[in-house]
Structures are given as structure tokens and as C-alpha cells.
Amino acid sequence: MNRILLTLLTVLLMFPGIYAMEAGDSSATPSPQKEKTPIFTKPKFSGFAMASYQATFQESGNSNSFDIRLVRASIEGRILNDFYYKIQGQINGNTSTLGSSPRLVDYFMEWQKLEFFKIKLGQFKRPFTFENPMNPIDQGFMSYSQPVSKLSGFSDRSGEHACNGRDIGLQLQGDFLKNGSGRNLLHYQVGVFNGQGINVKDVDNKKDIIGGIWVMPISGMRIGAFGWEGSYARKSGSEVVSLNKHRYALSAEYKKDDLQLRAEYIHSTGQGFATTYQKTENASDVTIKTYTDKDGNEIANDKADGFYALAIVPILPGKLMAKARYDLYRPTATWGLSKTNYEVGLNYRFCKYLEVQTEYAFTNDRSLANHNYSSVFVQVSIRY
């Protein structure tokens, strides 16, 4: 036992020396030989918090509420220079359910020695769509678009818990084919994942294969396509019920400084469970979700799609931005139950650490008796 304690104490005492050499501390004794790469770089701590107010005006009843949308904290750094790691947690919410409780969001390591061939392992964003990997503040609107939320693993139509677009797996990615100025023209990414979302083991022993490829013909522009083949499963007694997921997305984006223009179409084939997974409540509920039209007729549940297009345009560069978004989701890939948001707003950035986002949305939801209603949204975001 004493040997173990002595070893741990020795390791802890070594870390300040490693960091001091990294920072060029004058107390570190210079070596006459070539300086070695430090094992660990000094960890970087960061995060962000988003508080909001939303009011909705409907004939069936108005509502308004303040909300803590997200509070995140992360630590990142490098090991032997070539290995990048990140650990991120979401700390707002409660502990009653898996979906809304404080939880681990990211935990991965990526070997980045080769620009054209990087290997990532752990829990991280699924490589599907342009919008999914974006930071919620940089995304710019009151939420991710409906098709991304429903078909990329946020509040997924499959019934999995809230996963912020993430899963556990292994991914390969890289950039190559440089032009005359040294800018890469092609990017690829492909990964294999459990298919069950964050912090959950595989259930059906099948894996999701997700990948994408895009070209970058001019600086700031991306045109890409994505594919997703896999399943989402639950276990009821000794029976495992596995629902297929066949999805694809077509994407285009132009981004330069504060200017953002982006559009994506996503299509999904495959059913979903009727309930959202909660570890302590309905992990074994394998009831399949059904939809009915306004006349009470059942509609097929095996297809869904959505499309969004947005623009964020600087009015005062670096400070004030105007924005607009068309956001459509069809849970049965038909117009009978479609939901469309028409959104406009302004974002004001006091500095890189503080931003206020405002928005007005007019919604047409054909699943409701009174289709039309409107909402206002104000959000304050800080980075640290």
C-alpha cells in the first residue's frame, strides 16, 4: 500500500514540471539536447451558458416561461501533441430522467497527426448534416432546425433519449486534394456507432454506419451528402425489438465571417417507438408510434423528411446580425401533419463572450385543430 501511495505522489509531483516546461518556466533546467515533446499540454477549461425567455400565443391557450436552456463545461488538451482529447458535461437540469439530468455529453480522443486521416474514438457528434456539429450559440436560432432535431439524434423520432446529436463509436475523417493556394477541396468522414445514443450500451449488437462527403469549390462554401444505415433497439424481457434507420441528407452552405447561408434536406425511412426512452421508466416499452390524420385515419409511420433554409447577415460587422429561417418537418413525409416555422430575428454581440439573440416565429402545424400560432424568443448566451 505504501508503495502505491508513493508512486501516486511521485506522478502528481511530476505534472507541474511537465506544464512548466510547456510554458517555458525559467525554473525548469534547460537540456542541452533537443527539447522533447511534453506528454500532456496544459488543459484548457471552457464552456458556455444559455438562458432564455419564450412566449407562445395560441387560441387553445397562451404560455410563457424563463428557462435555462444549456449550461456546459469542458476540458480539452493534447497528449504527445498528436492526440487531442475533450471531456464535456451538461450540468443544468434535474436528476429524475436520463434526458434532462446533468450528464456526460462528450468524451473522446482523436489522433490528428495526419490531416487526411484522423481517428476519433469515444462519445461525440454523429457525422450527419452540417448543422448537427455546430455549437448552439453559433447556430444562431432558438433551436436547431426541426429536421436536424428529429433526424439527427436531438429529440429523435426513433424514441431515443435526448442525445444532442451524439453517440458512442469510432470515426475516420480527413481533408485532402489541395488547390494551388493550399486549401483542401474535399472532406470525408465515416463512423461506426452503437445506435443507442449517449451514455447507453448497444442493445441489438448491430451498429450504425454514418458518413458524409463534401466538396469546397471556393473558400467558405461546402456542398455535401450524408448517409446513415442502422437501427435503434429496446429490450422487453428476453425479446429485442430493433427498428431500422435508413437516412440521407443533402446539404449546402456558404459561410464567411458573420455571414451564414445554409440549406439541408433530410429523409428518413424506419419506424419509431411511441415513447421517449427513460432509463428508469420505459426502457422496455416497445410500442410502435402511430399517426392519425384529422379524420382519425391511421397514417404510415415508416417515413419522415424535412427541409430548412436560413440566412444570417451582418448589419454591423462583428456586432449586429439579421436572420431568417424557413423550417419544415413532416413526421410522415406527407403534408397532412407537417409543421412549418417561419422565423426572423436579430442577434447582437456585445463581445465574443456575450451575445443576445431575439426571434419571432410564425408556426403552421397541421396536426393541430388551430393550425397557426406565433412565438417570441429571447436568449442570452455567455462563453467562458
Q: What local confidence, expressed as pLDDT, does residue 293 receive?
A: 76
Q: What local confidence, expressed as pLDDT, does residue 98 receive?
A: 53
Paired with 49 in beta bridges are: 71, 382
Q: What local confidence, expressed as pLDDT, does residue 34 receive?
A: 59
Please state, for a pLDDT cut of 90, what percent of the chain lies above it. Answer: 77
The DSSP secondary structure of 99-162, one letter per residue, reads TTS-EEEEEEEEEEEETTEEEEEEEEE-S-SSSTTS-HHHH-SSSS-HHHHHHTTSS-TT-PPP
CATH topology assigned to domain 71-316: Porin (2.40.160)
- Stretches in the chain below the pLDDT threshold 50: 1-29
- What are the cell numbers at 208? 450504425
pLDDT digits 0-9 by tens, 271-319: 999 999 887 777 888 999 998 877 777 887 899 999 999 999 999 999 9
pTM above 0.75, yes or no: yes
Instruction: Give dist(CA 343, CA 310) in Å, integer.
Output: 9
Instruction: Give dist(CA 198, CA 177) in Å, integer.
Output: 34
Residue ranges of domains in the chain: 71-316
Start-to-end CA span in the chain (Å): 41
Q: What local confidence, expressed as pLDDT, does residue 281 receive?
A: 73
Q: What local confidence, expressed as pLDDT, does residue 17 receive?
A: 39
**For residue 158, what are the contacts with CB-CB under 8 A and spacing of at least 6?**
232, 243, 245, 270, 272, 273
Q: What local confidence, expressed as pLDDT, does residue 33 receive?
A: 59
